Amino acid sequence: MLSQRFLLLRSAASFTRRSFCTGGALKQGKQGKAPDMIEGNPQFHVSNVRNRLREIVGASTNWSDHQQAMAERVSLSSMLAKSQNELPAKRMKDSYLEVHLPLGSEPQLREKYLTYHNTVRFGRILEDLDSLAVLISYSHTYNSELKRSPLSIVTALVDKIDMRQHVIYPDCDIKFTGHVTWVGKSSIEAKIHMSQYRDGAYASVLDATFVMVARDPGNKRAAFVNPLKPEGPEEERLFQEGEANKSRRVELSTASLLKVAPTQEERTVVHGLFLNTLDTNTVSFRSRVLPPSSVWMEDAKLKGLEICHPQERNIFNRIFGGFLMRKAYELGWANACSYGGCRPSLVAVDDILFQKPVEIGSLLMLSSQVCYTQGTYIQVRVHSEVFDPLTRQHNTTNIFHFTFTSDRDVPNIMPKTYGG
């Protein structure tokens, strides 16, 4: 709803303390090398996450073999539970994982994560978070009696990413930890904490909440997952928080402006915007005047196109969700940079919705739109769709929301029509 979007930035001052920018020049020295990441220590490296996922589902690293392996997965349907009652309850610690990203200990790894300005590419962090959320979900559903998992677990939603630290340093080791915090019949909520080692200790960087869904081997219908049994007050709190998150998502979906009319408050806001842009000389609906220090919303767009090659596929022979998030973030960042006239810093990520999978070979069209501004804050919505050149049809696949901050006040964004 419009009012909820407005409230997000109106309360921006309250979360400035956790604002985030992917900055920080490279510095020499060993202050960013964590003792648990020194050479020889056993650890789960971030590069091994996707390899482990391939082992779990029986996917191949070779494109032609991968297709055959995915076709063979259909035979695993007989291993699916007929009801959730057939599956043993799992504990939160059963899905706990710790994964290392040694940017400080392995300098050769940094190049993948660096921008031209020696800052961290947050899009790469999004890719790692997405892969880890999938692996955490598979850890929850693990069955030692099965050689391969019959479940196809995919990302349905990135509920939110809360930033806890102002800077991610490109020369300091990073650690991801996470586990399942809530489970429905076929859905899983996974929380991930990211921290970075600096000045002799780990400091919190961000907390992310992912919602995953389990489907059959052919990714055609929902499949049951193990129930979750909280242990102790803290785990009960996390589980109840997951229940509340589910209720909130249902409420927001039913209150969408695509389904119901605006509230009285929202109608008042929209009417006020209209009156503020009305040409008083003509008093015509067609004649509009742009207020000072403002930009029409239709002039604050930036678009991109991606050809979806097999290299960016996930373990289920479709485009990797982390890749989509990275491309959407980078386009949204570029739009905020163009709009604000400087390099913006990321403040918050929310409501990354995965509506449909993106097939290999698709033409992926990305469209970013500045949809709200206040002071130094810029909110960008990125819409992605696949285009079929043969049928000329467009189908929405994802919707992303990013909030950035500039180092100066930015122009006010003004909608020209009801839709923007």
Tell me, what's the pLDDT at 414? 93
389: pLDDT strictly greater than 70: yes
Domain range list for the chain: 30-260, 291-419
Q: Tell whether the model's pLDDT for residue 4 goes beyond 80.
A: no
* Architecture of the domain whose range is 30-260: Roll (3.10)
Question: What pLDDT is recorded for position 318?
Answer: 87
pLDDT, tens only, 132-186: 999 999 999 999 999 999 999 999 999 989 888 868 999 999 999 999 999 999 9
Q: Which band of pLDDT confidence, cut at 50, 70 and 90, is reported for residue 3?
A: very low
One of 1.10.3720.10, 3.10.129.10, 3.40.50.2300, 3.20.20.210 is the CATH number of 291-419, namely 3.10.129.10
Amino acid 26: pLDDT: 41
> In terms of pTM, does the model score above 0.95?
no
Residue 39: its pLDDT value, please? 52
Instruction: Identify whether the C-beta of residue 177 lies closer than 8 Å to the C-beta of residue 101.
Output: no
- In tens, the pLDDT along 173-231 reads 999 999 999 999 999 999 999 999 999 999 999 999 999 999 999 888 999 999 999 99
* Type of residue at 377: Y
Average pLDDT, the chain: 86
Average pLDDT over residues 52-69: 79
Q: For residue 416, name the pLDDT band (cuts at 50, 70, 90).
A: confident
pLDDT in tens, 236-283: 999 999 999 999 888 877 777 777 788 888 888 888 888 888 877 777
Distances (CA, A) of 120 to 329, 363, 364: 13, 28, 25
Q: Lowest-confidence range among 39-43, 57-61, 71-75, 233-237? A: 39-43
pLDDT confidence of residue 9? 42
Contact assessment for residue 186 and residue 146, using Cβ atoms and an 8 Å cutoff: no
Give yes or no on whether 30-260 and 291-419 have one common fold. yes
Q: How does DSSP assign 261-286, residue by residue?
A: PPPHHHHHHHHHHHHHTB-TTT--SS
Residue 89 has pLDDT above 80, yes or no: yes
Residue 120 has what pLDDT? 92
DSSP secondary structure of 93-160: GGG-EEEEE-TTT-HHHHGGGB-TTS-B-HHHHHHHHHHHHHHHHHHHT--TT-SS---EEEEEEEEE
pLDDT at 92: 97
**Least confidently predicted of 56-60, 83-87, 303-307:** 56-60
pLDDT of amino acid 307: 94
Residue 401 pLDDT > 90: yes
The CA-atom distances, in angstroms, between 68 and each of 54, 58, 146, 322, 415 are 14, 10, 20, 24, 50
